[in-house]
């Protein structure tokens, strides 16, 4: 079959032929319709992701929309190495897929499942987000961040602050439901001041962080130097991505001097059943709400 194949972590995947997958016991064969090209796919293909292995060659891709042998259209997110999802056919376990709602087209489902579920799980499971709370999204101009704004509003957020590095995209987030914006390209002190002002004006209950690095440092420092807000007893800082840096400097006094709780949300923070339940819930929301996101199909 034809596939994108990683032969070396020093080179991009190449279009090539690859051995056909054969389903074994408890597996199903899938005919791919669409697969998402997410940041995690690029990281795995380059060997830079924390779940990367040294086994080469392999087909990249972590999820997709496909048809079963009976024609049922499904979303799946688990596969058997070396078969990924950027190919014509792959295999997955019989319990590792869900049907795609009829009102959700395949390209959209494949594009939004990974970033949308990351936000859905981070908010509902890790942060325990509830109606009436305020959210700060660090990295709001990326796909996951844009979906996070819409999800938060669906969950009853009182106020959503969108912080991002892409100035042009940041100007459009109000259409998605953002109530305020914070440019992340500012100098450190200016960024801290902007976040401190948002804290002072309305309060922050949850921080959803897709960037880490300097923006995360500035946010944590802004929280630590602020006086307790309203009647909030804690601020849940949920770390999801690290596009601005893989490490930060975190003085111990920040944790001692604030009510911040550091949490992580990723592959290891929820069970497989929880993840697929989250995908199903997110798909229902996406089908009914017609989420606003730019999809770029490639054939």
Question: So where are the chain's domains?
Answer: 2-99, 113-264
How sure is the predictor about 296, in pLDDT bands with cuts at 50, 70 and 90?
confident
Q: Does residue 231 have a pLDDT over 80?
A: no
Q: Select the more confidently predicted residue: 53 or 16.
A: 16
Tokens of residue 71, six digits: 């024609």
pLDDT score for 227: 60
What average pLDDT does this structure show over 121-137? Answer: 96
Task: Give, in words, the CATH class of 113-264.
Answer: alpha beta
Identify the CA nearest to 250 among candidates 225, 216, 226: 216
Average pLDDT in the chain: 92
Instruction: Calculate the alpha carbon distances from 167 to 92, 170, 188, 190, 218 in Å.
Output: 40, 5, 17, 16, 19
What's the predicted TM-score (pTM) here?
A: 0.90
Q: Which residue do the tokens 């109000």 mark? A: 174
Q: 2-99: what fold?
A: Quinone Oxidoreductase; Chain A, domain 1 (3.90.180)
Q: Do the domains at 2-99 and 113-264 have one common CATH topology?
A: yes
| Distance in angstroms (rounded) separating the CA atoms of residues 91 and 114 | 19
DSSP H or E stretch at residue 253: helix 252-256
């Amino acid at each position: 079959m034809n596939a994108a194949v990683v032969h070396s972590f020093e080179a991009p995947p190449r279009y090539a032929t690859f051995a056909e997958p054969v389903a074994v016991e408890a597996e199903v064969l899938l005919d791919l319709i669409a697969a998402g090209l997410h940041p995690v796919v690029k990281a795995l293909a380059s060997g830079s992701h924390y779940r990367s292995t040294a086994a080469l060659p392999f087909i990249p891709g972590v999820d997709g929309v496909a048809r079963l042998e009976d024609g049922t259209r499904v979303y799946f997110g688990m596969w058997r190495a070396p078969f990924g999802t950027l190919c014509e056919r792959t295999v997955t376990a019989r319990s590792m897929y869900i049907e795609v709602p009829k009102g959700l087209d395949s390209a959209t489902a494949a594009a939004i499942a990974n970033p949308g579920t990351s936000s859905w799980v981070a908010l509902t499971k890790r942060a325990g987000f509830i109606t009436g709370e305020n959210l700060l999204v660090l990295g709001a101009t990326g796909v996951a961040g844009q979906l996070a704004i819409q999800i938060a509003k669906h969950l009853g957020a009182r106020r959503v602050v969108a912080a991002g590095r892409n100035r042009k995209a940041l100007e459009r987030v109000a259409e998605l439901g953002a109530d305020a914006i914070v440019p992340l390209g500012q100098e450190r002190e200016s960024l801290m001041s902007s976040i401190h002002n948002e804290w002072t004006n309305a309060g922050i209950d949850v921080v959803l962080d897709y960037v880490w690095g300097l923006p995360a440092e500035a946010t944590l420092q802004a929280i630590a130097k602020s006086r307790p807000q309203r009647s909030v007893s804690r601020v849940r800082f949920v770390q999801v991505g690290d596009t601005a840096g893989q490490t930060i400097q975190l003085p111990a006094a920040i944790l001692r001097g604030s009510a911040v709780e550091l949490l992580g949300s990723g592959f290891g923070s929820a069970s497989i059943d929880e993840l697929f339940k989250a995908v199903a819930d997110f798909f229902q929301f996406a089908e009914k709400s017609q989420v606003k996101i730019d999809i770029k199909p490639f054939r």
